[in-house]
Chain A
Amino acid sequence: MSELDLNSIWESDRDKANSHYQSLSDVEKMAKQKSENILNKIRRTAFVESIISTVIVGALAVAFYLKDVWVFAVFMVFIIPVFILSYRFYRNYIRNLYDVNQRKVTESISAYVRLTKNYLRKVKFYNYYVLPLGYITGLAIGALSNPDIEATREIIERVGLGLAIGVPLVAFMIWFFNKKYIKWLYGRHYKALKQLLEDLQRDE
């Protein structure tokens, strides 16, 4: 088909585009709504994760404190800074991404891939190592800080050997499920961005 045909069809769509135009107030309202972009979805997910985790752990700490179960109360308080650390990853990621979409397309996609790769590396390090280690250390500190409390002693006596086997098992489970979760949540988006960049850079 001739190029002229394509261009004339393309131009003829202007009428349809005109009919789609909303009033400026509608457009401004739309512009203030929440974003559905992949990267913004990742940012929102990371933000919500940090908040929910901190709230849950904070609530558990209070609950255990009120029940006088010091071992877990101390553990929960210990783990909160770990979640705050994860929020810092998220915040830095947002700051770096802020003006990326105004660059040339290849530069922009390249920056998205690089920033997302760095972010994922930090998230993986945090989830695979810091978090399980944080749980184990928190439990240990909790148990050692108040061994005289009756409830704490009972827990230690009851779980005893189970703790030695259970803690590595819990750490493994945290690692395993986090790995699956990260792959499900970010993997396909990251893969799509990488593929796009490869397509753009081909033949350069």
Chain B
Amino acid sequence: MDGAMILEWVIKSIFLILVMTGGFAYVTLYERKVLARIQVRIGPNRAGPFGVLQPVADGIKLIFKEELVPAKADKLIFTLAPVLTVIPALIITAVVPWGTEVTLFGRTIKLYLADINIAVLYLMAVTSISIYGIALAGWSSNNKYATLGGLRATAQMISYELALGFAMIVPVMMAGSMSLVDIVESQKPVWFVFVQPLAFLIYFIAALAEINRSPFDMPEAEQELTAGYHTEYSGMKFALFFMAEYIKMIAISMIGSSLFLGGYRGPFVDQLPALGPLYLFIKVAIVLFVIIWIRATLPRIRYDRLMQFGWKVLFPLALLNVFVTGVVLILVGG
């Protein structure tokens, strides 16, 4: 392992983190703009042309806000919780490939940070960590609303993790590998979403629940629990939770695109690998649009119904889907 390679990794890591944090800022703007259009409003348009500087303004505002810590809060955990939430969200996308290889400055650079052979397992593991942040935030705030929010998040997580896992196993079975690069490459003939629409649907629903997005946004149901687990947070600590939520939105879209929508694959990508990131970007933007669209349209599902739905509908369906896929694969392959 030479020094240039380490440098390459460092540069790619920094680039990825910058893209994710920058992406977070612009997803908030994207969401506000799309919501505004759906709701016959205009949306932010004061800061910069078409409001493009709005996220910057929001960020500056949040940095200068006073950070309040409730008197009876557990101060260490209270401070640690947002960090615990945001870091898994940031490192999640390390295994998602952006493209194949490009030649830059006479050097072949792979367009992914890591191609580990247990990538899907890694995804499952890392996404689960961030729930600790939410549960601990709810508990350490010493606020009843926040506690309820944290509890809801935990219950929701347990109910949806399994279905999500089983939905992710299907592409693994189809590709015969856990590496996301292999999974994307094996979608060369046809995207998995066309072969496995049910798995994609389960993945999408479970992922929405996983990242607490509407209609599964119970942990932060504003009308019920004021702001749920982050009721007591202010300033940058609050911004970190916000950031985690939106980065997870991007990550979930990226993973979903890679697993089911052919990732960076698209017309002419074999001839011109630089197109890969562009295709991925377009797919992510479309998935994000659907997530926002759902938020604008659907009412919130009730907490107990969500659990019922998770255990009684999604989980058996996912299990059945895995079973059927397995049988078909053996029959076809064998």
Q: Do A and B actually bind?
A: no
